[in-house]
């Protein structure tokens, strides 16, 4: 997420909070309903359909024409939507306790869960929470590490330095320097927890963590247990990867700095938060010199335009039996950075007008990485198109992990065989060593991320429930990061620090579980799709390109949106009602065998 995107998110939050405050000041009790629950839901859908057109258009213009005027237009549209939403939530509470049909109850529940930041009804507390939320995002967005008044480094620049530097002390300086922005957040965050918990209480939840977990079609306790099960299924692969990475880092920096029976120092993994480790691939490359897939040279040699790169991705989805993108997609999308104005280049997919107006927004470059992003973003668009005939309250992913997983699943089919078939590389032949290299690159991001993706919200669940006390915020954070990730800070981090605040999603109040679930689901989806397509051989070599049978099942799952429990949607594709992380182990079997061989004789664990 770019700094501008963060600021826009903060603005939307402030507008929402202000609207909620105005509504609460007018009336803090839900009036007796004057319409049936079914009539209420029908009205909500009709009003939401119209509001969504306005706010979508305003947000698009804001992202593609960055001026003071478009900021005003976007804020005004957001305020109108926020006032509507806060009022509808209050009205929806009047139907609590009534016996409703499943569809009506689901629509009302989704409406209530439409905010991740429930605010107290008391106007003074609402005002206080508005101020705290603004200050927390502001502290992060404006954060810099300053050696002195004339030598300050932004967060974005620090991230880049963490990716490229291989100097132990320099990396520690950058890592520690970024965390100087967080101590002022600590007291504000403690009060924020009190206020959002009060808001969640008023909606019938014991705390905000329980409210977040309530959006998964099972009890909050059952969901927490399910997330733990998924982690245990994939942990053996993570443990082998961790052991190999620690050994290589020990060779590079010296075992005096990276002891081989302790957690890995958190600043050595090529990422400010040690969440993904792909930038240390130069240290980890199993077989140096074994060539990588050189798609970049083909894109440049054939001079692919941004539109041609998008056509390549569209052709993949069409090969599965899905429709071509509408003419308006090609007329209205942003494919390149305009020369005459400022825009947000961060890639995103848009389903405006209830999914009838699909677009992407990117500043496309001729690289394989960008091509993969395009395939991913069109996954969002095809999902939006699939559920566009659902009522507006059901236009969304089956649960928060599904949307990200769709496009990620498709990128797994961008195998050497597929790339050769569509002319992006010259040969599909890949040596065993090249397979291991490619899987190592993937694992350093996809597998290394999993424990981080899980613990961000688990820490917050403990904070919201009171299990983690304010005086133990940092202690609990590092205990959890060490337990799950096997990493440790490069120096002592006492309670004078607030290291969780160094990750945007904490001060920005953005739930993180969706990313953990998406990393699990993409491999489960791919395994089922490959079985449907009749693939023979190892899972990592499978591409579903051209399989109408796989495409039909894929589309059937997407078409239900969030109109039914995610278990029902999942069953349409996989035949099972449970998320399953064992597909990750299946996919990475070649790398798993390599890692076990490399780790033989090493003392793994921490």
- The DSSP line for 419-435 is HHHTTSSS-----HHHH
Q: Does 473 map to a domain?
A: no
How does pLDDT run across 483-540, given as a tens digit for each residue?
Answer: 999 999 999 999 999 999 999 999 988 889 999 999 999 999 999 999 999 999 999 9
CA distance 174 to 87: 46
Q: Residue 149: what pLDDT?
A: 82
Partner residues linked to 227 by β-bridges: none
Concatenating the DSSP letter of every residue in 443-456 gives HHHHHHHHHHHHHH
Q: Residue 234: what pLDDT?
A: 97
Residue with tokens 């004078």: 496
Identify the band that residue 79 occupies on the pLDDT scale cut at 50, 70 and 90: confident
Q: Residue 137: what pLDDT?
A: 87
The more confidently predicted of residues 127 and 355 is 355
How does pLDDT run across 413-450, given as a tens digit for each residue?
Answer: 999 999 999 999 988 888 999 999 999 999 999 999 99
Identify the band that residue 13 occupies on the pLDDT scale cut at 50, 70 and 90: very low
Pairing of strands 144-148, 151-154: antiparallel
CA distance 202 to 204: 5
| Torsion over CA: 286, 288, 291, 292 (sign) | positive
How does pLDDT run across 181-209, given as a tens digit for each residue?
Answer: 999 999 999 999 999 999 999 888 999 99
State what percent of residues in the chain have pLDDT above 70: 95
Average pLDDT across the chain, whole number: 92
Average pLDDT on 104-128 reads: 88
Q: Does 550 map to a domain?
A: no
Average pLDDT on 387-399 reads: 96
Identify the band that residue 345 occupies on the pLDDT scale cut at 50, 70 and 90: confident
Name the residues annotated as catalytic: 346-347, 376-377, 380, 404, 505, 515
Q: Does 56 map to a domain?
A: yes
**CA 500 → CA 145, 480, 550, 567, 600, distances in Å?**
17, 11, 41, 32, 35
Partner residues linked to 359 by β-bridges: 350
Identify the band that residue 293 occupies on the pLDDT scale cut at 50, 70 and 90: confident
Q: Residue 114: what pLDDT?
A: 82
Q: Is the pLDDT of residue 310 over 80?
A: yes
Residue 33: strand, helix, or coil: coil
Q: Is the pLDDT of residue 28 over 70?
A: no
Identify the band that residue 77 occupies on the pLDDT scale cut at 50, 70 and 90: confident
Q: Residue 142: what pLDDT?
A: 86
Average pLDDT on 226-246 reads: 97
Identify the band that residue 395 occupies on the pLDDT scale cut at 50, 70 and 90: very high
Q: Is the pLDDT of residue 14 over 90?
A: no
Q: Residue 121: what pLDDT?
A: 83
**CA 509 → CA 140, 252, 512, 582, distances in Å?**
12, 37, 9, 31
Lowest mean pLDDT among 107-121, 298-312, 489-503: 107-121
Q: Does 524 map to a domain?
A: no
Q: Residue 30: what pLDDT?
A: 55
How does pLDDT run across 558-574, given as a tens digit for each residue?
Answer: 999 999 999 999 999 99
Q: Is the pLDDT of residue 91 over 90?
A: yes
Q: Does 459 map to a domain?
A: no
Q: Does 209 map to a domain?
A: no
The more confidently predicted of residues 1 and 405 is 405
CA distance 521 to 581: 7
Identify the band that residue 410 occupies on the pLDDT scale cut at 50, 70 and 90: very high
| Torsion over CA: 155, 159, 162, 165 (sign) | negative
Q: Is the pLDDT of residue 18 over 60?
A: no
Q: Residue 277: what pLDDT?
A: 97
Q: Residue 31: what pLDDT?
A: 62
Average pLDDT on 53-72 reads: 90
The dihedral region occupied by 542, where left means phi > 0, alpha psi between -120 and 50, and beta the remainder, is beta
Identify the band that residue 6 occupies on the pLDDT scale cut at 50, 70 and 90: very low
Contact 406, 558 (CB under 8 A): yes
When divided into structural domains, the chain yields a total of 1
Identify the domain containing residue 78 by its residue range. 3-115
The more confidently predicted of residues 292 and 314 is 314
Identify the band that residue 364 occupies on the pLDDT scale cut at 50, 70 and 90: very high
Q: Residue 118: what pLDDT?
A: 85
Average pLDDT on 49-65 reads: 92
The more confidently predicted of residues 215 and 254 is 254
Q: Residue 71: what pLDDT?
A: 84
Contact 379, 351 (CB under 8 A): no
How does pLDDT run across 154-173, given as a tens digit for each residue?
Answer: 998 999 999 999 999 999 99
Selection from 584, 603, 600 nearest residue 230 by Cα: 584
Going through 21-112 in order, the beta strands assigned E by DSSP cover none
In the structure encoding, which two tokens stand for residue 140, read together? 């992060």
Burial of residue 97, with CB atoms counted within 10 A of its CB: 0-12 exposed, 13-18 middle, 19 or more buried: exposed
Residues 6+ apart with CB under 8 A from 401: 513, 514, 515, 516, 517, 518, 520, 521
C-beta atoms surrounding 183 within 10 Å: 14
């Amino acid at each position: 997420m770019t700094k501008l995107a963060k600021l826009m998110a903060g603005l939307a939050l402030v507008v929402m909070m202000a609207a909620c405050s105005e509504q609460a000041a007018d009336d803090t009790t839900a009036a007796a309903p004057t319409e049936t629950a079914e009539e209420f839901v029908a009205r909500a859908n009709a009003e939401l359909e119209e509001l969504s057109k306005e706010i979508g258009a305003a947000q698009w213009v804001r992202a593609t024409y960055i001026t003071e005027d478009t900021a005003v237009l976007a804020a005004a549209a957001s305020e109108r939507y926020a006032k509507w939403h806060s009022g509808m939530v209050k009205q929806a509470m009047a139907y609590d306790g009534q016996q409703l049909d499943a569809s009506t109850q689901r629509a009302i529940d989704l409406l209530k869960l439409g905010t991740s930041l429930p605010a107290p009804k008391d106007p003074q507390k609402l005002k206080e929470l508005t101020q705290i939320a603004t200050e927390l995002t502001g502290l992060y967005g404006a954060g810099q590490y300053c050696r002195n008044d004339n030598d300050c480094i932004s967060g974005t620049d620090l991230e880049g330095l963490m990716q490229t530097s291989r100097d132990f002390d320099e990396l520690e300086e950058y890592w520690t320097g970024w965390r100087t922005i967080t101590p002022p957040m600590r007291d504000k965050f403690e009060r924020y927890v009190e206020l959002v918990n009060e808001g969640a209480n008023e909606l019938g939840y014991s705390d905000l963590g329980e409210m977040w977990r309530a959006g998964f079609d099972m009890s909050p306790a059952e969901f927490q247990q399910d997330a733990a099960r998924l982690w245990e299924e994939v942990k053996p692969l993570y443990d082998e990867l961790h052991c190999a990475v620690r050994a290589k880092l020990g060779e590079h920096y010296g075992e005096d700095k990276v002891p081989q029976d302790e957690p890995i120092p958190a600043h050595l993994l090529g990422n400010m938060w040690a969440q993904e480790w792909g930038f240390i691939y130069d240290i980890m490359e199993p077989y140096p010199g074994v060539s990588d897939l050189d798609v970049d040279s083909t894109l440049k040699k054939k001079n692919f335009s941004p539109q041609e790169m998008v056509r390549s991705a569209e052709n993949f989805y069409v090969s599965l039996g899905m429709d071509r993108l509408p003419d308006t997609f090609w007329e209205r999308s942003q494919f390149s950075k305009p020369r005459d104005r400022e825009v947000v280049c961060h890639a995103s997919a848009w389903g405006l007008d209830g999914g009838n107006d699909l677009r992407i927004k990117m500043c496309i470059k001729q690289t394989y990485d960008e091509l993969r992003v395009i395939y991913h973003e069109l996954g969002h668009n095809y999902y939006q198109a699939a559920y566009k005939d659902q009522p507006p309250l059901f236009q969304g992913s089956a649960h928060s992990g599904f949307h990200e997983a769709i496009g990620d699943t498709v990128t797994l089919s961008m195998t050497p065989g597929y790339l050769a078939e569509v002319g992006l590389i010259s040969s599909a032949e890949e040596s065993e060593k090249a397979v291991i290299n490619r899987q190592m690159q993937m694992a350093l991001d996809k597998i290394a991320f999993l424990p981080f993706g899980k613990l961000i919200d688990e820490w917050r669940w403990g904070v919201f429930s009171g299990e983690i006390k304010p005086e133990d915020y940092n202690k609990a954070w590092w205990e959890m990061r060490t337990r799950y990730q096997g990493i440790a800070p490069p120096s002592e981090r006492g309670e004078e620090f607030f290291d969780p605040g160094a990750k945007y999603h904490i001060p920005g109040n953005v739930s993180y579980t969706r990313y953990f679930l998406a990393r699990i689901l993409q491999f489960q989806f791919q395994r089922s799709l490959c079985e449907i397509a009749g693939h023979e051989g190892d899972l990592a070599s499978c591409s579903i390109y051209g399989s109408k049978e796989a495409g039909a099942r894929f589309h059937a799952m997407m078409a239900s949106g969030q109109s039914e429990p995610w278990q029902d949607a999942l069953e349409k594709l996989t035949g099972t009602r449970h998320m399953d992380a064992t597909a990750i182990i299946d996919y990475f079997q070649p790398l798993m065998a390599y890692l076990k061989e490399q780790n033989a004789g090493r003392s793994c664990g921490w």
